[in-house]
Amino acid sequence: MLRGRTRIPWWVLVCWLALAPAMAWAQSVGSPVVRVGVYDNPPKIFMGSDQQPTGIFGDLLREVARQEGWTLQAVRCEWQDCLDQLQAGRIDLMPDVARTPERETLFRFLPTPALHSWSQVYRHPSQQVESILDLQGKRVAYLQGSVQQAFFANLLENFNIQAAWVAADSLDQSFALVEHQQADVALANVHYGDWKATSHSLLGTPIMFQPVALHVVSGLQSNPAWLQAVDRRLAQWKADPTSSHHGTLRRWGSPETPHGVPPHMVWVMLAGVGVLALLALTVAWLRREVARKTRDIRASEARLNTILDSVDAAIYIKGTDFRYRYVNRKVAQIFGTPADQVVGKRDEDFFDRRTADHIHQNDSRVFNEKIRLTAEEVNRNLGNDTEQVYLSVKLPLLDASGQVYALCGISTDVTEQRQATEEIHRLAYFDPLTQLPNRRALLDRMAREMALAQRTGRNGALVFIDLDHFKEVNDLLGHAAGDELLRSIAIRLSSSLRNTDTLARIGGDEFVLLLADLDSDRDLAADQALSTARKLKVCFGQPVPLAERPYTVTASMGIAMFTDAAETPENLLRWADMAMYAAKDGGRNEIRFFNAEMQTRAEAHADLLQDVRRAIQHHEFILHYQPQLDTDGRLCGIEALVRWQHPDKGLVQPGTFIPVIENTDLMVPLGQDILRLACAQLAQWQHLPTPQTLQPPSHWRLAINISAKQFHHVHFVEHVKHVIDQTRADPHRIELELTESLLLNNVDHVIEKMGQLQALGIAFSLDDFGTGYSSLSYLKRLPLYKIKIDQSFVRDLDSNTNSQAIVRTIVALSDSLELKVIAEGVENSAQKAQLLQLGCHQYQGYLFSRPVAAAELQAGWLV
């Protein structure tokens, strides 16, 4: 190049060669060459067109060099390369370096930072960006590989903000991207940003981050004086607002003031950083909470599912489109389809048309009326004829605005319960043998019809039907034949009746016909009732084939009219019963109306009940005692017999009142009183020795009569226990006398009760044996201790061979069942002798003693 311009004379060259070493020496001594690393980062530092460092740092160093008399040698390098060269001692000073612990070991830092800087977000004027939250979904331009981006990305992530990143090769390009709206915002250090924003028509945003203090540093091998000179000058200039340093900063558009960052900016930044840190912490905490809550929800969902799946009810959620959204395991079981395949389907996919329609109607009510619905749903699955009954409870599910979006249903299978309820109803109201209404159903129906008759003025009647000699059928042909006869009669009678009539079976061989809606004229109504009864009589006239033999049975019938002043159904039934007894007394196979004389009897009956009720309250009942003896005349038992100490009538025998009240509820309180009196007496006697028992000892029991009504009372067993506890009577000395009629109904229950009392030590005897409705099969099962031969067989023992045969049979039966046997009503020695001959060894009767007061019995039979 020199050669091309001009030729240099040789002497000039010689002089220059001669003088060059001297000039270099002079330069190295007076003007040291300081090598400065220059990388391209305008406006902070970059290479000027004069190959000297320029920009904020460049101007600064040039000014220091000028004042210190240095020669600056700019070494162009890339950032990392610059640092490497500085470390290797090939560069002396390097500007724009942030302090890090690692760098402090490699380079020399002095206290005064040359420049404060931070990063900032710059936006296109069309973008509204006030806070970091506004960056959701925005396109962010950044300098590829910059620390800034990593930092900022992390920041956005903490706030859970999704931004689209647009990479640029230079800051200039990233600003250009925003300018041309290929990005919405750009990241840049504040120096570059403030310097270039206007030229790219960008605006700064309040979002600042990553504040940093930038230093000029030197390598460890470089002359430390140089860095100290820089530090000293900087400190001077910063302190002096008129210094050229401030001019430099202004020229390059730096926001820095002579004292560093403007105080308000420092506060803004600190506040910003604080808020960001707080937000970041909050976000982190929220995330952790969300994660924890999510875990909790999943765990509780799993628990809930386990519970819902183990419940034996169908639980489901259905949308307003009637499609299942959730079903538990039970639903899946019912449909025979996995739960996830039920979801999305509708009821018509599983049930037959009628079922689906019914469910749909119920669901619609829940959706439309927003009500909690409880309904019985009878469901039939597709292709399956069996019906299942569900009790369904359905609730509407509402969203925040109160709109129904689904329903939650719980359906419990109640098929078995419904069948059981129907069965219970059937058993409670129908006779299992004939399927006719029973006494309870009849009384209900009577109450309704009697009330209706009162309102309409129409009449009605009750026909009480009792088969004649039915016992013979049982005895001669067996119970199966008896049952067959009852069934045939039920069918036959039913077929001859009107729809408005009700035929019921209320006892062994007792049928009752309720005739409603008869003429309002009593006589006409009575005619109607009579003609119906006669029609029934004709029915009876036809033989029934029993045990392959035709058998003709007759019946006695009693008729009572609604107008017969019977106020209650029970009374009307009693009137009809009385009329029926009159028919029986009239020779059987008769029909009788309830009449005036019966009416008188009925009234007397009612008066007596009234009187007994009063007498119970006044404790007018007392007990007499009758001894029972063995062959040798030793006391083997005592029977307690009730007497009524009437204020007007004197001592009233039980035969006049017990049969009247025996079937009424009054028997229960009276029976309780008797039991209490007897046990109290026993407690006094139980420790007394009996004179005859000294040698050998004998054990007597006190026999107490128990009527059916009393025994069947639900609390009978408890009551007996209570009385024993109260009186301290020895249960091993108690014998309860039951009658055969008591055993007719519900034998299992009777046996159970007897067992409970037997467990206490109580024994049972069967009173008046032979007169009632004995069944040998029952006898075998009952926990009996003694049988009492009825006095009617004893009375004519000498004359009636039949009675002798019966007594002999009873004795043989007792022996075979290992029961004791005692004869009642033994009035003379001949009877006693005959009984002894027939094998009966215990006796009770006037021969030994009449029933007497307690004191008298004690005086005569106990010591």
Quickly list DSSP for 558-570: EEEETTTT--SHH
- Cβ proximity to ligand C2E: between 68 and 827 the closer is 827
Q: Does 851 bind ligand C2E (CB under 6 A)?
A: yes
Instruction: Kindly state the smallest distance separating residue 633's Cβ from ligand C2E, in Å.
Output: 16
Binding span for Mg ion by CB under 5 A among 151-159, 239-247, 741-749, 764-772: 764-772
Q: Which residues contact 701 (CB under 8 A, 6 or more apart)?
A: 637, 638, 732, 733, 734, 735, 763
Per-residue contact flags (x/-) with ligand C2E for residues 587 to 626, judged by CB under 6 A: ---------------------------------------x
Q: Does 658 bind ligand C2E (CB under 6 A)?
A: yes
CA 225 to chain centre: 88
Binding span for ligand C2E by CB under 6 A among 334-342, 399-407, 535-543, 821-829: 821-829
707, interface contact from ligand C2E, Mg ion, none, CB < 5-8 Å by kind: ligand C2E
Spell out the alpha helix ranges (H) of 547-666. 569-585, 596-617, 654-661
Burial of 677 (0-12, 13-18, 19+ CB in 10 A): buried
Q: Which of 326, 827, 839, 852 binds ligand C2E (CB under 6 A)?
A: 827
Binding span for ligand C2E by CB under 6 A among 99-107, 463-471, 684-692, 825-833: 825-833
The answer to whether 430 and 438 are in contact (CB under 8 A) is: yes
- Peptide bond preceding 43: is omega within 30 degrees of 0, i.e. cis? yes
Q: Which of 383, 457, 550, 655 binds ligand C2E (CB under 6 A)?
A: 655
Site for ligand C2E in 153-212 (CB under 6 A): none
Q: Which of 32, 258, 508, 654 binds ligand C2E (CB under 6 A)?
A: 654
Coil, strand, or helix at residue 554? coil
Q: Does 650 bind ligand C2E (CB under 6 A)?
A: no
- Cβ proximity to ligand C2E: between 540 and 843 the closer is 843
Q: Does 705 bind Mg ion (CB under 5 A)?
A: yes
Binding span for ligand C2E by CB under 6 A among 12-20, 585-593, 594-602, 841-849: 841-849
693, interface contact from ligand C2E, Mg ion, none, CB < 5-8 Å by kind: none
Q: Does 846 bind ligand C2E (CB under 6 A)?
A: yes
- Is the C-alpha dihedral spanning 185, 186, 192, 198 positive or negative? negative
Q: Amino acid letter at 217?
A: V
The answer to whether 91 and 38 are in contact (CB under 8 A) is: no
Q: Does 674 bind ligand C2E (CB under 6 A)?
A: yes
Site for ligand C2E in 74-113 (CB under 6 A): none
Q: What is the DSSP letter of 703?
A: E
Q: Which residues contact 590 (CB under 8 A, 6 or more apart)?
A: 556, 557, 583, 584
Q: Which residues contact 235 (CB under 8 A, 6 or more apart)?
A: 112
352, interface contact from ligand C2E, Mg ion, none, CB < 5-8 Å by kind: none
Coil, strand, or helix at residue 835? helix
460, interface contact from Mg ion, ligand C2E, none, CB < 5-8 Å by kind: none
The answer to whether 186 and 173 are in contact (CB under 8 A) is: no
Which H or E run contains 187?
strand 185-189
Instruction: Kindly state the smallest distance separating residue 643's Cβ from ligand C2E, in Å.
Output: 8
Instruction: Kindly state the smallest distance separating residue 808's Cβ from Mg ion, in Å.
Output: 19
Query: The tokens of 422 are what?
Result: 């129907």
Q: Does 642 bind ligand C2E (CB under 6 A)?
A: yes
The answer to whether 529 and 514 are in contact (CB under 8 A) is: no
Binding span for ligand C2E by CB under 6 A among 21-29, 104-112, 425-433, 647-655: 647-655
Q: Does 845 bind ligand C2E (CB under 6 A)?
A: yes
642, interface contact from Mg ion, ligand C2E, none, CB < 5-8 Å by kind: ligand C2E
- Cβ proximity to ligand C2E: between 460 and 845 the closer is 845
Quickly list DSSP for 251-317: HTT---BTTBS-HHHHHHHHHHHHHHHHHHHHHHHHHHHHHHHHHHHHHHHHHHHHHHHHSSSEEEE
Q: Does 673 bind ligand C2E (CB under 6 A)?
A: no
- Cβ proximity to ligand C2E: between 179 and 824 the closer is 824
Q: Which of 362, 379, 705, 803 binds ligand C2E (CB under 6 A)?
A: 705
Q: Does 825 bind ligand C2E (CB under 6 A)?
A: yes
Tell me the Cα Rg of the chain: 60
Query: The tokens of 686 are what?
Result: 């139980």
CA nearest neighbour of 736 among 674, 659, 685, 818: 674
Site for Mg ion in 808-837 (CB under 5 A): 824
Q: Which of 94, 342, 490, 641 binds ligand C2E (CB under 6 A)?
A: 641
Instruction: Kindly state the smallest distance separating residue 639's Cβ from Mg ion, in Å.
Output: 6
Q: Which of 332, 512, 767, 804 binds Mg ion (CB under 5 A)?
A: 767
Query: ∠ CA 42-44-46 to the nearest 5 degrees?
Result: 50
Residues in the chain: 863
Q: Does 411 bind ligand C2E (CB under 6 A)?
A: no
Instruction: Kindly state the smallest distance separating residue 739's Cβ from Mg ion, in Å.
Output: 8
Taking CB atoms within 8 Å and a gap of at least 24, the contacts of 196-199 are 196/171, 196/172, 197/122
How many Cα neighbours within 13 Å face the side chain of 742?
A: 27
- Cβ proximity to ligand C2E: between 230 and 723 the closer is 723
Say how far apart CA 389 and CA 413 lie, in whole Å. Answer: 6
The alpha carbon torsion through 625, 630, 635, 641 (nearest 10 deg) reads: -10
96, interface contact from ligand C2E, Mg ion, none, CB < 5-8 Å by kind: none
Instruction: Kindly state the smallest distance separating residue 716's Cβ from ligand C2E, in Å.
Output: 13
- Cβ proximity to ligand C2E: between 441 and 652 the closer is 652
CA nearest neighbour of 664 among 707, 705, 716: 707
Q: Which of 434, 824, 832, 843 binds ligand C2E (CB under 6 A)?
A: 824
Site for Mg ion in 714-743 (CB under 5 A): 737
546, interface contact from ligand C2E, Mg ion, none, CB < 5-8 Å by kind: none
- Cβ proximity to ligand C2E: between 57 and 711 the closer is 711
Binding span for ligand C2E by CB under 6 A among 264-272, 379-387, 592-600, 652-660: 652-660
Binding span for ligand C2E by CB under 6 A among 330-338, 431-439, 564-572, 651-659: 651-659
Backbone angles phi, psi at 690, to 5 degrees: -95, 140
Instruction: Kindly state the smallest distance separating residue 640's Cβ from Mg ion, in Å.
Output: 9
The answer to whether 176 and 197 are in contact (CB under 8 A) is: no
Spell out the alpha helix ranges (H) of 145-217. 147-158, 171-179, 190-196
Q: Which residues contact 276 (CB under 8 A, 6 or more apart)?
A: 132, 155, 209
Q: Which of 144, 384, 653, 800 binds ligand C2E (CB under 6 A)?
A: 653
- Cβ proximity to ligand C2E: between 437 and 637 the closer is 637
825, interface contact from ligand C2E, Mg ion, none, CB < 5-8 Å by kind: ligand C2E
Q: Does 707 bind ligand C2E (CB under 6 A)?
A: yes
- Cβ proximity to ligand C2E: between 544 and 678 the closer is 678
Say how far apart CA 334 and CA 350 lie, in whole Å. Answer: 9
Determine the size of the site formed for ligand C2E (CB under 6 A): 23
- Is the C-alpha dihedral spanning 22, 25, 29, 35 positive or negative? positive
Residues that bind ligand C2E (CB under 6 A): 626, 640-642, 653-655, 658, 674, 705, 707, 737, 767-768, 791, 824-827, 844-846, 851
Contacts with Mg ion by CB under 5 A lie at 705, 737, 767-768, 824
